[in-house]
Structure formats: structure tokens, C-alpha cells
Chains A and B, each alone.
Chain A
Amino acid sequence: MQVLTEIIFLLKKELLLEWRQKYAIGGILLYVISTVFIVYISTGEIRPPVWNILFWIIVLFASVNAVVKSFVQENSQRQLYYYQLAHPIAIILSKMLYNIGLLFMLTVLSYLAMTLVYESPIKRVGLFWLTIFLGSVGFSITFTFVSAIASKADNSSTLMAILTFPIVIPILGTLMMLSANALGLIQDTAYVKDIYTLIAIDGILLGLAIILFPFLWRD
């Protein structure tokens, strides 16, 4: 119960911090829009399969960039202060929850920016929204945890990319399958199984992150 109140409190702190440093979130949103525009300039018309790939690549890179700052932006003294006040599980869970929101917003924005320049190829709207929600959850769990590792090193943004990309491939592959379904590229009636797979992967990673994080923060 105490962890829950701590999580809510820390979430409020994250939001407040984001509100005070508006340029950080503005930077990420601008990142998405400029990437979409660069893709648009260099490709012209694209077919739905290419749309699917480009969309998820843009979301992947933008997400890594958005999450990498979660543990870097606050200096280590202040982090030590948090760790003394709150349980480490509360800290990682609040960061993950916050990042789920952030990445979901970012994905929606990427989608809107893509629809602005290309025609939206989506056939099954419900499935697509479910997919991007599950995607934000999966990305958030993986990236938040790895950013906690990477933040301890000096070259954290390079490290972040090389550590996360191979790990996130199962999630990304399943997401692309689901999204291809939503775009009507493939007619797979067994997509429910993919959703379960995704939830199972998220569950495994979340469980591991909760178990392993207490080992991580101690310095």
C-alpha cells in the first residue's frame, strides 16, 4: 500500500518536472515531426507495407531518445535522496508508468504526423490502437530498465541504443505482425495469440525489472 502512494507521489513529481522543463518534451515532439518530414521528403508516395515499417522505425528511435533521459536528467545526489525516501520498486514503476504515457503520446503523435503527409492505410482501427498501446507498454518497460543501466555510464545514449535494440526485437517483430494485421496486409485470424505473446513478453520483462532493479541503484 505504501508503495502505491509512493508511486502516485513520484508520478506527480515526474509530471511536475516535465511541466517545468517544457523544452525537453517539446524537443522529443519536434524530433518525431522532423523525422516524419525527412522520411516524407525522401520517399514521396509509399505503399502500406513500407508505411508499416517506417512507422515503427520512427517510433522505435523516437522512443529510445525519449526514454534515455529518465535516469540521466536528475543528478546522482538527488537520486540518492529519492532512494532514501522511496522504495526502489516504487521508483522504477513510477518511471515506467510515466514512460508508458509519454511513449503512447509519442506514438499517437507519430501516427498523426504520418497521416498528415501520407494517407492513413489503417483498416482495423481498434486493433491498431490496441497495438500502439501494447507497443508503448513493451517499449516503456524495456527502455526504462535499460536506461537505468545505461545511465551509470558516461556514454549513455550510445550504450542505450546498442543495449536495447537487440532486446526489443521480439517485441518489435510481434508489433509489426499485429500492425500488419490492422493495416489489412495479412489476414491472420490468430492475431489474438500475438496479443497474448506480447502481454507475456511484457509480463516477463516487467517481473525481471522489478526483481533486478533493487540491485541496480545501489552505488
Chain B
Amino acid sequence: MKENWWKIIGIVLMLFALIFGILTPLKPGLPSVFPFNGKAGNPLTVDIQGYNTHFDEAKEQRVWLKLGDYTLGSSKLEATSSNLLRATFLTPAMLPSKDSVVVFSLVTDNEIDGASVMPSAIFVKQSVIDSAGAAQVWPQNSLDNLHQQAGIMFPYRNVLGETIRNLYYHVSLWFAMFIILAVSIFYSIRYLNKGNMLDDHRSNALVSVGVLFGLLGCATGSIWAKHTWGTWWTTDVKLNMTAIFMLIYLAYFVLRGSFQDEIKRARLASVYNIFAFASIIPLLFVIPRLVDSLHPGNGGNPGFGGEDLDNTMRIAFYPAIIGMTLIGLWIADLRYRLAVLADKVLDRI
């Protein structure tokens, strides 16, 4: 029991990440609004779709159209259900902008859900452009007195929605894969130094778990991509990098399979493992310069920071990485022991 503490920690952390990551609700958000365009000067009535919101129970429901510091409150509000709100705005004929089509954000606020923002929500067209005149008419309000929402919740992001939880399982798989492959490099180096066959068995077991995690990472990413990007696989940089990784390690297995002599096999596999891993590291620096990525944090996409990875998400994310790594090391340990036992049996024969 004493030497198994890390397996227990792995299971506990993974279970925690699963339970906390799946059961914690998302913050209220605004997935869509319809119609999303209108004409300045005409009354504009829009249906606001909410997610996890309580429009009908809220007593102090407020809605604004927002452009910079200019805000326009709604003149009429009608909540038809907890997730549907009909708001009417009386837009002035002149908008506080020099463009003929002005894009407003939509802000809702009530005492139960707190404030939610939908950026670039409504397009309003103006026929008379007079931004100086509009500045007189439009009320300025920096919206300080918004409600804060209480409780532990994950952030709501448009498009991502519930799939934001994939971060804990998909991204942590990649982190775990990198750590496990790095450990396998450590054992490869140790094999070359000491020539102990057990180190090669460990290294091989770790590589196979690394590849398994890579495939699982691909699968979880693919399912997520189907929901958010609308396709199972695209020519995204990180997907290509994954493919390269898989090619290298599948080649590693072919290389191992090419030798009958186990000492020769162990030596060559160790050398290739180190060389391939080192040659792939520059990829992390080179490839981002070659093309943009669809992944968060690349090519102008919002990164995992700020609202995309807040402290609530970190509570599930970091344990998931550690838990996934420990479970991976455990699987590798089992494979290693199996290989050693098989060796013993073969020796006896």
C-alpha cells in the first residue's frame, strides 16, 4: 500500500476532475439574438436567447445596446420563459459612429444571473450619419452597477458552450502525453548510459502509453471539433503536428519490430527515440511561424487566459493533468512488469 500512494492520488485527482468538470454548471450566457439587424430611428424588437438564465424569475431585468461608452437601455422588456427575453429598443435616428452600419454589443443584467455580454450582437443601419449630433442624444453609461453572480461556475463562451469542459480531458491528455514521452526519453538515455535492459522495457512501455494518449487526444479533439468547427478533421497546425508525432512513434514501433536481437533493438530504439524527440521540439517554434491555427491562443484566436481559463476552470484543469499523467505512468508500469515477466518466462524456456 505504501508504494502505491501515487496511484491513489492519480485516481482521486482524475475522479475529482471528472466529477467537478462534468457537474459544475456553466455561467448564464447569450447564445443568440434574433433579428440581429435593424434600422436607426425605428423601434427594434429582438428575441434574446439565454442559456442557464432566469429571465422570468428575475425582478430587476435590464438590457442594453452598447457601443464603447454609449449605451441604450431597452424601453420594453417581456420574458416569455427562463431562456427567452423580448426586448424593444427605441433607437435614435443618428448613431454615435461614422459608419453606416454600426455593430452593437448586447448586455443583459439581473440579480440572479449577473451580467452577460454578447459581443457584436446587433447590426444597426443609419441613413443619416451625424456622429457629433448623436453624441448629444445618446446616453453615456459605463455600466458600473451590474450584478455579480454568486457560486462556482465555468465561464460561458459563445460557440464553445458546454464543450468548454473538453479542456479538462482533451488538453490534459496532451500535457500528460508530453510528460510521459519525456519520461521515456529519460529512460532511453539511462539505457544508453547503463545498458540495463529494464530501462529499455520501461522506455518502450512509456512510448506505447504516450501513443495511446495521443490517439485519445485526437479522438477527444475530433469530437470537439465536430461541434465547434463543424468538421472532424481540418488542416490545422496542431492536428498536423499530432499526425507527425504519431508517424514518428509508429515508425519507432516498426523499428523495434525490425530486430530480433534484443540488445541491438534496445540500443537502436533508444537512439531513435532521443533523436526523434529532439528533432520534433523545434517544430513547436517553427510551425507557428508557418501558418495560423484555429486553436485557441493561436493566429489571433483568444487564448486560454482571461475569460477562457478562469480560476474555476483551473480547479478542474490542473488536477486533470496530474491525474492523467499518474494514470498513464501506472498503465506504463503495468506494461513494463508484463514485459519483464514475459522475459523471465522466455528465459526459463
Q: B162-201 toward A: CB 8 Å interface, digit per residue (1/0)?
A: 0000000000000000000000000000001000000000
- Candidates B247, B264, B270, B276; contact of A152 at CB < 8 Å: B264
Contacts A159-B255, A166-B248 given; does A209 touch B282 at CB 8 Å: no
User: A201 CA to B49 CA in the complex, in Å?
Assistant: 52
Verify if A85 is at the interface (C-beta below 8 Å from B): no
For residue A216, which residues in chain B have a CB less than 8 angstroms away from its CB?
A: 267-268, 271
For residue A154, which residues in chain B have a CB less than 8 angstroms away from its CB?
A: 258
For residue B271, which residues in chain A have a CB less than 8 angstroms away from its CB?
A: 149, 212, 215-216
Chain B min CB distance to A140 (Å): 14
Interface contact A165-B275, CB-CB below 8 Å = no
Interface contact A205-B255, CB-CB below 8 Å = no
For residue A205, which residues in chain B have a CB less than 8 angstroms away from its CB?
A: 275, 278-279
Chain B min CB distance to A207 (Å): 9
- Pick the interface stretch among A6-14, A32-40, A167-175: A167-175
* Closest chain A residue, CB of each to CB of B252: A163
Interface contact A163-B278, CB-CB below 8 Å = no
- Please provide the chain B residues from 200 to 220 with a CB less than 8 Å away from any CB of chain A in the complex: none
Interface size on B, residues (CB 8 A): 31
Verify if A145 is at the interface (C-beta below 8 Å from B): yes
* Closest chain A residue, CB of each to CB of B281: A204
User: A44 CA to B233 CA in the complex, in Å?
Assistant: 32
Verify if A219 is at the interface (C-beta below 8 Å from B): yes
- Candidates A152, A165, A194; contact of B259 at CB < 8 Å: A152
For residue A212, which residues in chain B have a CB less than 8 angstroms away from its CB?
A: 192, 271, 274-275
Verify if B8 is at the interface (C-beta below 8 Å from A): no
Contacts A142-B279, A149-B272 given; does A169 touch B264 at CB 8 Å: no
User: A162 CA to B274 CA in the complex, in Å?
Assistant: 16
User: A170 CA to B287 CA in the complex, in Å?
Assistant: 7
Chain A min CB distance to B204 (Å): 16
User: A201 CA to B290 CA in the complex, in Å?
Assistant: 16
Contacts A204-B278, A204-B282, A208-B274 given; does A152 touch B268 at CB 8 Å: yes
For residue B274, which residues in chain A have a CB less than 8 angstroms away from its CB?
A: 208, 212
Verify if A24 is at the interface (C-beta below 8 Å from B): no
Interface contact A170-B280, CB-CB below 8 Å = yes
Q: B249-268 toward A: CB 8 Å interface, digit per residue (1/0)?
A: 01100110011000010011
Interface contact A201-B268, CB-CB below 8 Å = no
Contacts A166-B244, A170-B283 given; does A215 touch B255 at CB 8 Å: no
For residue B255, which residues in chain A have a CB less than 8 angstroms away from its CB?
A: 149, 153, 159, 163
- Candidates A153, A166, A197; contact of B282 at CB < 8 Å: A197
Interface contact B251-A163, CB-CB below 8 Å = yes
Q: A157-190 toward B: CB 8 Å interface, digit per residue (1/0)?
A: 0010011011101100110010000000000000
User: A48 CA to B238 CA in the complex, in Å?
Assistant: 27
* Closest chain A residue, CB of each to CB of B193: A215
Apart from A142-B279, A167-B248: 16 A-B pairs, beta carbons within 8 A:
A146-B275, A152-B264, A152-B268, A159-B255, A159-B258, A162-B247, A163-B251, A163-B276, A165-B247, A170-B280, A177-B289, A201-B279, A209-B275, A215-B192, A215-B267, A219-B264
Q: Residues of B at under 8 Å CB distance from A?
A: 192, 244-245, 247-248, 250-251, 254-255, 258-259, 264, 267-268, 270-272, 274-276, 278-283, 285-287, 289-290
The 8 closest A-B pairs by CB, nearest first: A153-B258, A166-B247, A162-B251, A166-B248, A167-B279, A201-B282, A170-B283, A170-B286
Q: Residues of A at under 8 Å CB distance from B?
A: 142, 145-146, 149, 152-155, 159, 162-163, 165-167, 169-170, 173-174, 177, 193-194, 197, 200-201, 204-205, 208-209, 212, 215-216, 218-219
